[in-house]
Structure 1
Amino acid sequence: MSDAGALFLPDPPPARLAGAAGGEPRLQPAGPREWRVSGDWTLLALRGRYDEFRQRIAAAMADAGDALWDLRELGQLDTAGALTLWQGWGHRTPARLLWLPEHVTLFAQFLQPGALPRQKPGLRPGLAHAGTALLGFTRQALDIVALTGRLLLDVGHVLRHPSLIGWREISANIFRTGAQALPITALVGFLVGLTLSYLISKQLKTYGADIFVINILGLAVLRELGPLLAAIIVAGRSGSAMTAQIGVMRVTQELDALSVMGISHTVRLVLPKVVALAVALPLVALWTSALMLAGGMAAAGAQLKLDATTFLHTLPGVVQPANLWLGWTKSMLFGGLIALLACHFGLRIKPNTESLGQGVTASVVTAITLVIVVDAVFAVLFSNVGI
C-alpha cells in the first residue's frame, strides 16, 4: 500500500523499547495536531469499546483532517483493531501517518476492491423480512407440489405393479399412528367432551333447554371437534415421529444409500406413510369422537340429570348421517396431508442435528396450521350439508 503522507519506520522509537507498548488500548493527543495510538488494539482488548474508539477517531479526523497519526507505539494489532482505526478514519489512510512495516499487511486488505462493500440502500428491515418469509413460503409450497406430483406418478406405477406395494410398511405405520395413539386420544377426548358439555349444560339450564345439549354435542363432536382434535394430536405425535425418522435417515446417509440402490424415496418411505395415516386417522377420529361423547354424557348426567339411555336414543335422530361422513372424509384428508408434510420436511433436513430439530418443529407447526385452515374451508363450503 502506498500513500504520499504515510511513513514506514522499520525500527520502533525509544519509548516502545522502554516497554510503553502493550496493555489497554489508548488514543492520546501528542501535540496540537498529532495523535498517538498505543496499547493493544486486538479483538479481546477492544471488546465492547469498538463504537467508543471509532467515534473518538472520527471526531479527531473531523477536527483536524491533516493531523499526524503515530502508530509506532502499538503493542499488538489484529484485524479487529485495524478495522476500528480504518472505519474511524473514514475508510482511508490519514494524510500524515507513522507506522511500522508489520502494519502494512493488516491495512492493505481494506484497500482491495470489494473488501469492505458499502451497504446499498434497500428495503426497510420489516419489508425485507416479509419478502424473505414470502419467498421461503413460495419455495416450500412448490416443493410440496412437486412431492405430491412424484407421489401421484409413483402411485400409478405401483398400481400397475402391485408387487411394489409395501404392505408391511403400511401395516406397521397404521399400528404406530393408529393403535398406539388410542390411549392419549381417549384421555384428551374424554376430558374435552366433559368440559364442553359442562359449559354448554350450564348455559342451557338457564333457559330450560336441557335436551338441546345432545344436538350441540353430537353435531360439534362428530362433524368438527372429533376429527380436528384427533388430527392435531396425531400431527404432534405421529407427524413429528415421521419427520424425525426420515431426518435421521438423512443424517446417517441411509437416504443416499437408497438412491444409490435405485430405490425411490416416495415409493419406499412417503407412500406407505401417507396411505397408512389416511386409513388410520378416520378410525382414530371416530374413537376420539366416541370418547368425547362419553365425557359429554357424563357431564350432562351430572349437570342436567340426563341418563345415558336418553342421550344415546336421541343422538341418532338429531345428527344426520351426512355429518358423520363429512367428518370421516375430512379425517382422511387430514391424515394424508399430515403424512405428506411430515415426509416433505423430513426429506429437506440437512445432515446435521440442528437442522433435524428445526425440521421437526416446522413439520408439526405447519401440519397443525394447515389442518385448522382446511377444516375452516370445509366448514364454509359444507355449511348447509347435514343440518
Structure 2
Amino acid sequence: MPPSAPPPAHDTLAPASGETDVAAPRIERSGGDDATVVAHGSWTALAFSSRHHWGAVSQGLARTSPDAELAWDLRPIEQLDHIGAQVLWNHWRGAWPARIELDSQHKAVLEHVARFTCSAPVETQPTLADRIKSFTNNGPRAMYVARDFLAMIGQLVLDIGTLIRAPHRGPWRDLSGQLYQFGTTALPITALVGLLIGVVLAYLTSNQLRNYGAETFMVNILGLSLIRELGPVLAAVLVAGRSGSAITAQIGVMRVTEELDAMRVMGIPPGFRLVMPRVLALAIAMPLISMWTSMAALFGGMIAADLAIDLSPAYFLQALPRAVPLSNLWLALGKSAVFGILIALVACYFGMKVKPNTESLGRGTTASVVTSITVVILVDALFAVLFKGVGFR
C-alpha cells in the first residue's frame, strides 16, 4: 500500500496505550544468488496486537522459505521479546539457520525460546530394553496390590477373631441389613434369569437328544450342568454386577465425603464395621442364592422338557436324585461361599482405594465388577480341575 494512502480502518485494532510508538515489524529479502532475509521493527507482543502488523509479518514469512541454507539478518530489529522469538523459531521449524547475524541480547532471547520449545516426539517401536524397563516399573505395582489385598484378608481374619471373642461388640445390625440387601432383594432377578437359562438349555439339548432317542438323559444333563456349574456361576456373576458394584460405590462415596477419615479419628476400625459385615453377609447369602437360582433353572428346564420331548415332571423329579449325586450339591454350596467371599473382598478393596473425586469412583466401580467376574470364572475353573473326580457315578 503506498505511504500516502492510510490503511483501512477495519485492518487495525484500536491502538493500545503506547502502540503508536512501536515500530511496525516487517521482513525484507535481498535479491541475487546470496539471498538474505532482513527483519526490521519491533517483534513484540504489543506490535503483533495490531491485525495490520501481524498480517504483514505473516505474509512476509509465508513468502520466505524456511530453508536452513537461507541467511538471516536480525540486527535491524529494535525490540525482540519471547513472542517474536517464538514466531521466528516456529518459522525455522525448530532449527537454527545455517547463517544468521543478530545482537547478543536478541540471541539470548532466541536461545531461551529454543531451549524450552519441545519438538514433536517421533513414535518408535519399543526396544527390548524399553519393555524390560516397563516391566520393572509395573512389577512393583502388582506387588503393592497383592500386598494390600493380603493385608485386607489378614485384617478380616483378625476381625473375625475379635467377633468370636466378643460377640456383643459385633455389628449385627449391619450384618442383617447387608443380608437383606444382598440376599432377599436379589431373589427375583436371579430366579428370572435362572428360569430362562433352564428353558433355553432344555430346548437346545432336546433337539440333539431326540435324534439319538436319548430323551431320558435330559435329567442328567440339566441336573449336573445347573447344580454343579451354571447355577453357582450365574448367581455369582449376577451378584458381582449387582452387589459388588453397590459395595464399591458405598465405600467409595464414604471415601469421597471423608467419612472413612472421620471413622478413623473416632477410633472406629473400618475393617470391623465395613468389610467384615459385607464379607460375612455374602458368604452366607451366596450359597442360598446359588441354590435358589439352580432350582429356578431346573424348574424351567423341567417345564421345557415336558413341552419339547414329553418328559413328564414326575419322571424328572424321580430321576433327578439318581442322576445327580449329593456331593454335587455340597460342592456347589462350598464353591458359592468362596465366590461370595471373593466378590465382597474385591469390592471392598476397590472401594477403599477410591480417591476423593468422582472420576476415581466411577473407575473403581467398573474395575470392581470386571475383576470380580474374572475372579469368579478363574476360581470356578480351579474348582473344576481340583474336583474333577467328585460327583460322578
Q: TM-score, normalised by structure 2?
A: 0.77
- The two structures, once aligned, show a CA RMSD in angstroms of 3.9
Amino acid at match of 2:29: A
Q: Count matched residues.
A: 350
Q: How does 1:83-122 map to 2 (within 5 A)?
A: 84=90, 88-89=94-95, 95-97=100-102, 108=112, 111=115
Q: CA deviation at 1:157?
A: 2.4
8 A Cα contact 1:198 1:303, kept in partner:
yes
Amino acid at match of 2:67: A
Is 1:166 matched up with 2:171? yes
1:8 corresponds in structure 2 to none
2:29 corresponds in structure 1 to 30
Q: Which runs of 5+ in 2 are unaligned?
A: 1-17, 50-60
1:153 corresponds in structure 2 to 158
1:77 corresponds in structure 2 to 83
Q: How does 1:281-292 map to 2 (within 5 A)?
A: 281-292=286-297
- The worse-fitting range, judged by mean Cα deviation, of 283-292 and 126-135 is 126-135
Q: Which runs of 5+ in 1 are unaligned?
A: 1-11, 22-27, 43-52
8 A Cα contact 2:94 2:114, kept in partner:
no
Is 1:229 matched up with 2:234? yes
8 A Cα contact 1:72 1:98, kept in partner:
no
Q: CA deviation at 1:136?
A: 4.0
Partner Cα separation in structure 2 for residue 360 and residue 83 of structure 1:
48
- The worse-fitting range, judged by mean Cα deviation, of 367-376 and 140-149 is 140-149
8 A Cα contact 1:86 1:93, kept in partner:
no
Amino acid at match of 2:183: G
Amino acid at match of 2:95: W
Partner Cα separation in structure 1 for residue 85 and residue 219 of structure 2:
75
Q: 1:350 to 1:80 in 2, by over 3 A?
A: farther
Of 278, 284, 287, the match for 1:279: 284
Partner Cα separation in structure 2 for residue 370 and residue 82 of structure 1:
58
- The worse-fitting range, judged by mean Cα deviation, of 161-170 and 232-241 is 161-170
2:12 corresponds in structure 1 to none
8 A Cα contact 1:72 1:100, kept in partner:
no
Identity of aligned residues (%): 43
Is 1:333 matched up with 2:338? yes
Q: 1:60 to 1:269 in 2, by over 3 A?
A: same
Q: CA deviation at 1:67?
A: 3.6
Q: 1:204 to 1:354 in 2, by over 3 A?
A: same
Q: How does 1:101-250 map to 2 (within 5 A)?
A: 108=112, 111=115, 123-124=126-127, 127=131, 135-250=140-255
8 A Cα contact 2:206 2:215, kept in partner:
yes
Partner Cα separation in structure 1 for residue 247 and residue 302 of structure 2:
35
Q: 1:85 to 1:206 in 2, by over 3 A?
A: same
- The worse-fitting range, judged by mean Cα deviation, of 72-81 and 352-361 is 72-81
Q: How does 1:308-319 map to 2 (within 5 A)?
A: 308-319=313-324
- The worse-fitting range, judged by mean Cα deviation, of 73-82 and 167-176 is 73-82
Of 61, 67, 75, the match for 1:60: 67
Q: TM-score, normalised by structure 1?
A: 0.78
Deviations 1:249-277 (A, max 9, x none): 00110000001011111101000000000
Is 1:370 matched up with 2:375? yes
Amino acid at match of 2:94: G
